[in-house]
Amino acid sequence: MSASRILVTGGVRSGKSTHAERLLQAHPEVTYVAPGQAPDPAVDPDWADRVAAHRSRRPAGWRTLETSDLAAALTGGGPLLVDCLGTWLTAVVDAAALWEAPVDDVHDHVLAALDPAVEALRAASGPVVVVTNEVGLGVVPAHRSGRVFRDLLGTVNQRVAAACDEVHLVIAGRVLVL
Q: Which positions are annotated as active-site residues? A: 54
DSSP state of 38: P
Compute the residue count for the chain: 178
Q: SS3 letters for 160-173?
A: HHHCCCEEEEEECC
Question: What does the alpha-carbon distance between residue 110 and residue 96 come to, in Å, rounded to a whole number?
Answer: 10
Strands 5-10 and 31-34: unpaired
Question: What does the alpha-carbon distance between residue 54 and residue 59 come to, in Å, rounded to a whole number?
Answer: 11
